[in-house]
Amino acid sequence: MMQLHNPVLRGFNPDPSILRVGGDYYLATSTFEWFPGVPIYHSRDLANWRLIGHALTRKSQLDMLGVPDSAGIWAPALSLDNGVYYLIYTIVRNRTGAFKDVKNYVVTAPAITGPWSEPVYLNSSGFDPSLFHDDDGRKWLVNMQWDHRPAHPRFGGIVLQEYSPEEHRLVGPIINICRKEPLIEGPNLYKVNGYYYLMLAEGGTDWNHGISMARSRHITGPYELDPQPLVLTSRKSPGAALQKAGHGELVQTPSGRWYLAHLCSRPLYPVRRCPLGRETAIQEVIWSDDGWLRLKSGGTDPALQVALPEEITPHPWGVDQQWDDFDAASLAPHWQSLREPVEPRWASTSERPGFLRLRGRESLHSLFEQSLLARRVRSFCTTAQTALEFEPEHFTQSAGLVVYYDTRNHFYLRVTHHEQMGKVVGVVQTDAGVYSEHIESQLAVSHWPRVYLKAMIHDESLQFYASADAENWHAFPIICDFTKLSADYAGGFTGAFAGVCAQDLRGTSICADFDYFQLENQ
């Protein structure tokens, strides 16, 4: 019997939204400040997934310049009705303090691969919206309601309102259908055996995370709570391999079996930090005799391996591309930029054929215009490598290899100019917003026409290397703490990326040319 191995999507793929169309499964996840927004993965067996593109590829769909770290896209929701694909998503513009400034949108497409429409604004009352298509043809939006008032629970319940596809807007009364302590979010509605089931993400998205249920005979309520407090959680198993389990969606196979896609994290012990971020796992679930959702494996802990039925034929896609020589006219879909689309004015594979040319812009601390392209780190044993041709003329000009969490937490092996040494390569870092340079270990490389750069991650350790020929490597003596690139140290909701970047703080847009990029996730 075929086994599904969790997580099925490794490395920063949280808040999964899953959809079946015939024998095909599609899954979308959150992207926060990374562009393009909302990756869409495809599977034919629930175990093997491939990236087929992104839903939000235009600035008109996703305007994020200036949004803070871990804001941007939260919790997308995919659905299909009458041949039209719907994607509901939130853009968060402020995530700290008493207020959440959010806008919820819907886009539609004739196919899962698009083209996706211009966004239609829905509401701003809270985040995590999803769209339910009832069997009478009516459509309903649910989202959590944010309450900014002192002495009130911030998570003010789940609100329901009808959506009119003809008018492209929400209509009718807004009804609070469920309140519960502790905090609840991530609502999704399902109709099974005459009941409306409300699936909820509960307890925050950290170590206390979980999934709970409520149900009603009427979509507007009242909803009764599941007598079992949680369907899924890892809060009672602090040493388990899969932690932070919660926020999920259901999918049904053609033969009627049910599966739950949910987020989880894999900590490094004993430090208990998760630098790969929140990932996606899948569990088989069943309906109990009294009509409540339960894990088929029993209990509430997520399983590392899940048996798949014989009806599902294995359909592997092969290994993700680990080497990019930048020979193609456009970048591979695994690449992501920060807050804005890739444009020829700052990133090009055609300006110098066979190279990725980045034009230096703002610093790695900027919330606006960064010339940075990166890919998800998916394994605790990962090597990233590139070759850079770059001739800086001033200390304000840099380019190189970055291992990045957010503007306040990253490690950077960069080539720059030193007044006495000329061209140098060295390690700089930003730790909890504090910038520092390891000047004593800088390496003079003025006689190197090309600088090879490498980062090696092994569990909690990250070390950088440089070479003139990609054979004889100079190891920088600084051992960086890779676990700091995690929500558990840095806050936020994303995960570690590795990539290339360029800065020019003088504003002259100096060019940095990268011949290739290799990312080996073992």
Positions marked active-site: 369
The C-alpha atoms of residue 130 and residue 132 are separated, in whole angstroms, by 7
CB 278 within 8 A of CB 205: yes
Q: Which residues pair with 78 in a beta bridge?
A: 87
Q: Three-state SS for 439?
A: helix
CB-based contacts of 376, cutoff 8 Å, min separation 6 = 11, 12, 13, 277, 334, 336, 495, 496, 497
Q: How do beta strands 224-225 and 232-233 pair?
A: unpaired
How crowded is the C-beta side of 45, counted as CA atoms within 13 Å?
19
CA 1 to chain centre: 31
The C-alpha angle 132, 313, 1, rounded to 5 degrees, equals 105
Distances (CA, A) of 262 to 50, 254, 463: 17, 20, 33
Q: What is the DSSP string of 372-389?
A: EEEEE---SEEEEEEEEE
Q: Within 10 Å of residue 430's Cβ, how many Cβ atoms?
A: 20
CA dihedral of 436, 441, 446, 448, whole degrees rounded to 10: -110
The C-alpha atoms of residue 13 and residue 266 are separated, in whole angstroms, by 12
Distances (CA, A) of 92 to 147, 336, 346, 353: 15, 19, 26, 38
Retrieve residue 221's tokens.
């309520």
Q: Which amino acid is at 366?
A: S
Residue whose C-alpha is closest to residue 413's, from 396, 393, 388: 388
CB 188 within 8 A of CB 140: no
Q: What is the DSSP string of 28-90?
A: E---BTEESEEEEEEESSSS--EEEEEEE-STTT---TTPPTT-EEEEEEEEEETTEEEEEEE
Q: Within 10 Å of residue 480's Cβ, how many Cβ atoms?
A: 23
Residue 15's region, left for phi above 0, alpha for psi from -120 to 50, else beta, is left
CA dihedral of 143, 148, 152, 154, whole degrees rounded to 10: 40
The C-alpha atoms of residue 223 and residue 189 are separated, in whole angstroms, by 12
